[in-house]
């Protein structure tokens, strides 16, 4: 369990929820970049003027890559089909207009039902070199292994997570009451990167007024000992004052996050946040001491784990995980694309 900054997600990692590898098979099929030809030497002339400084030749303009034609002999596995792989990749990468890919091989492996997929990836602008990526599709056809991760697979890879969150995400929310387009933020009040993500969350609330945007507690007690208490107070604020009071409380806690560094500081910070939400700190403290409140926070943590959350801040957009502190232009583009894919409107 980690609290990570968007700095740990390069542009490629943000676009791809699974790790890149460079398989030898795929690399062998990547065409080398053409060598740049040397300019011809100028012709001399007895009547020419004294030598002038020559203008350097213009740099070649990058162009979209041309992928090598796949070999039918490299499609030996019965499942998955190329169409399913393409749909899976389109679900993940389709928001990026510059991304190109080609399914290069779907191979049987020595393990019955386990297939290896090889994909070539390029950039329409030609600024990035063609890369090879591979992953293994498990026999159930619903999951892949890439690097040390197991993630959902298929032509609708986010559907199962979306359904679980529609049924079980019960945190305070802003926006629509309906769940046709639901964004669930998993966050820890003591995580500095969760604090950074709040600027993005406020923009999403403004830019997608028809979406339901839920806050789901996911405190990491092992590294943020006061985060659990902050979550318990927040749950009680929500119960006594509703979602509006909760988000006033949450903003105050994040603003005063440094105060959570010590138990005494946490008490002052949380009581102040409760008061800013218009509620009685003593009543909230009594509520937070109820074991049922701790059980509900534990259930929220379990929900995150059940849908594959392993770090915060994470935003789940109709089942699709995105770092909540990603650059906002990228985040907004993914949200818009997911809404279009699901045939809903959040704006």
pTM reported for the whole predicted model: 0.83
- How much is the pLDDT for 57? 64
Distance from C-alpha of 103 to C-alpha of 121, rounded to nearest angstrom = 9
- The token duo for 70 is 């796949």
- How much is the pLDDT for 126? 85
Ramachandran assignment for 45, one of left (phi > 0), alpha (psi -120 to 50 degrees), beta (any other): beta
Q: Are the C-beta atoms of residues 178 and 344 closer than 8 Å to each other?
A: no
Domain boundaries, the chain: 2-30+66-157, 160-341
- How much is the pLDDT for 49? 42
Residue 264 burial class via C-beta count within 10 angstroms: exposed 0-12, middle 13-18, buried 19 and up: exposed
- How much is the pLDDT for 127? 84
Residues whose CB falls within 8 Å of the CB of residue 141, separated by 6 or more in sequence, listed in order: 79, 80, 153, 154
- The token duo for 112 is 């019955």
Backbone CA torsion sign across 239, 240, 243, 246? negative
pLDDT along the chain (347 residues), means of 10: 56 40 32 36 38 57 84 97 97 95 98 97 90 96 94 96 98 97 98 98 97 98 96 98 98 98 97 98 98 98 96 98 97 97 92
| Secondary structure of 239-305 as H, E, C letters | HHHHHHHHHHHHHHHHHCHHHHHCHHHHHHHHHHHHHHCCCCHHHHHHHHCCHHHHHHHHHHHHHHH
- The token duo for 123 is 């950039």
Architecture of domain 160-341: 3-Layer(aba) Sandwich (3.40)
Please state the φ and ψ torsions of residue 137, each to the nearest 5 degrees. Answer: -95, 125
- The token duo for 94 is 């389709």
Place of tokens 């994909």: 119
- How much is the pLDDT for 60? 61
Cis check: omega of the bond before 75, within 30 degrees of 0: no
Q: Are the C-beta atoms of residues 1 and 310 closer than 8 Å to each other?
A: yes
């Amino acid at each position: 369990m980690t609290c990570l900054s968007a700095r740990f997600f390069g542009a490629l990692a943000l676009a791809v929820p699974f790790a890149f590898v460079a398989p030898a098979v795929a690399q062998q099929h990547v065409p080398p970049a053409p060598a740049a030809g040397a300019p011809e030497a100028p012709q001399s002339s007895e009547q020419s003027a004294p030598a002038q400084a020559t203008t350097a030749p213009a740099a070649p303009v990058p162009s979209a890559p041309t992928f090598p034609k796949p070999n039918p002999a490299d499609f030996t596995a019965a499942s998955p089909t190329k169409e399913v792989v393409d749909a899976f990749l389109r679900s993940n990468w389709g928001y990026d207009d510059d991304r190109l890919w080609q399914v290069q091989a779907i191979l049987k492996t020595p393990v019955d039902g386990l297939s290896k997929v090889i994909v070539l990836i390029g950039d329409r602008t030609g600024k990035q070199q063609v890369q090879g990526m591979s992953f293994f599709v498990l026999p159930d056809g619903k999951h892949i292994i890439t690097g040390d991760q197991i993630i959902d697979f298929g032509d609708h890879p986010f559907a199962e997570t979306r359904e679980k969150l529609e049924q079980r995400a019960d945190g305070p929310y802003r926006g629509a009451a309906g769940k046709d387009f639901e964004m669930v933020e998993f966050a820890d009040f003591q995580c500095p990167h969760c604090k950074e993500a709040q600027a993005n969350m406020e923009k999403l609330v403004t830019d997608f007024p028809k979406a339901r945007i839920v806050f789901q507690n996911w405190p990491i007690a092992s590294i943020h000992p006061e985060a659990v208490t902050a979550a318990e107070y927040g749950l009680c604020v929500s119960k006594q004052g509703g979602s509006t009071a909760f988000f006033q409380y949450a903003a105050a806690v994040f603003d005063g996050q440094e105060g959570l560094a010590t138990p005494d500081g946490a008490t002052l910070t949380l009581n102040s946040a409760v008061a800013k939400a218009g509620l009685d700190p003593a009543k909230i403290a009594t509520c937070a001491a109820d074991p049922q409140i701790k059980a509900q926070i534990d259930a929220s943590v379990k929900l995150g784990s059940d849908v594959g959350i392993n770090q915060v801040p994470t935003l789940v957009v109709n089942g699709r995980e995105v770092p909540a502190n990603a650059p906002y232009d990228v985040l907004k583009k993914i949200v818009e694309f997911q809404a279009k894919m699901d045939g809903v409107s959040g704006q």
